[in-house]
Structure 1
Amino acid sequence: MTAKLAEMTTLEAARAAESGTVVVIPVGAFEQHGAGLPLATDQLRAEALADAVAEALPGKVVIGPGVPVGVSPHHQAFAGTVSLRPALFAAVVREYVESLAAHGWHRFLVITGHGGNNATLGTLAQDLLRDRPDLELAWAPVTVLAKDTVAAMELSPVSGHSGEAETAQMLHVAPHLVRRDLLTPGTTTPDELDPFARLARSVSHPAVALPYDRLSPSGVLGDPRRATAEDGRAIFAEATDRLVAFIKEWLDT
């Protein structure tokens, strides 16, 4: 049986729910990723990881509908960016979860390719804990799952959005969408940061929210030219292994 709910019939979906499968919901963002990566980068990465997890756990995972637009107001200065308000993003994910819960699913894993969704997903989880204690919701950002591989990469002193790690992942999962000739360094050192952003990176700093054009005029943190498809493959291998191990233990509890 296919692992994608969208490709199932209603009878197949009913059997999948009865068997206790985990519903994986890939969510991303529709936002600028510099000159070299597409606007849908975060959704493509989340979907690729969901596919890898489902392939590794046949019959235990169902991939539900994705949410291709996330919480991205900090990228709004760049053309093409589309953003949902946090409350609306949370409401959409919650409606997905509660719709599927009505048919018997009770375990849900959200894979997010966009770090800007994390705070909203945390709030949603708290709301569900209060309102729907019968449901279990977990969420995981793609790159954070591969912290060991990313730490071993050759990263710029400042690296992140559209930098080495994200570009490596796209070279692995969707190389045809990477504009290799347009990959250029963005902000790569603390001295290049906006003074307030530089202050926020200091020791014992408070949390701040800044628009990305104050972090990097190009919207890029790091040097994507250093990225390789091999690094991207390694990131996905580590992220897949971590999620597979988590789901196996989850299903055993």
Structure 2
Amino acid sequence: MDSELIFKALADPSRRQLLDLLYNRDGQSLSELEAELPMSRFGVMKHLRLLEEAGLITTEKIGREKHHYLNPIPIQFVYDRWVSKFARPFTSQLTELKYRLEHEMSETRSHRYQIYIQAAPEQIWQALTDGDISPNYYFGTRVESSFEPGAPYSCKFADGSVLIKGEIIASEPPHRLVQTFLPQWEEAARALPASRVTWLIEAAGPGSKVTLLHEELPNDPYVEGFADGWSRILSSLKTYMETGAVLKISD
């Protein structure tokens, strides 16, 4: 993940305005975004391309139009790498943007994340389904399941307490895994209804593009922290797959 690209993308006021527009309403098309900026369609396309190159947005083709979505992972990456090292005034705007992106994601019915990892799809699939590997990136929990459709799964700490549980909906190794999501870490989490998590893994050059969709989330303030949690899991997964090291993330 290139921090220079991220800082460059955030430095331009028009690109920050595009992020604000997606903050207010995620999944907009080029035509919708173009209508809000005082520049040509080509100019908006150029800014969107730079945001996508920095990983700050992702896109999906729906019909004839391409829709644009916020991706909080690069913000998390820069926040974790730099905030604890430098003075708060230098990073105050970045910290505010990180909060706003995470807060926005909590108010939508679905969260979307995307990251590139220098590992084959088969290796990433193994990391998602192997209980000996998952503690290295999934908050120290061990995943347990047969990963057959209809099978239960859980993510457990070493003391046996459960972080997440649910059911496997679809399993298509090494490219697609769909599961229900029932948080268990405290009473307020257990009160939430089941949501759905989809992992999509595509070969991309020498590595893979990993897309995570968290859908059917309730419109509840409690889910505000989920965006931060997934960003940390995906950043930790990338670090472990590429270096073999466990990512140390400060709160």
Q: Which has the higher contact order (CA 8 A, sep 6+)?
A: 1
What TM-score range do you get, normalising by the shorter chain? Answer: under 0.3
Q: TM-score, normalised by structure 2?
A: 0.27
Q: TM-score, normalised by structure 1?
A: 0.27
| Structure with the larger strand share | 2
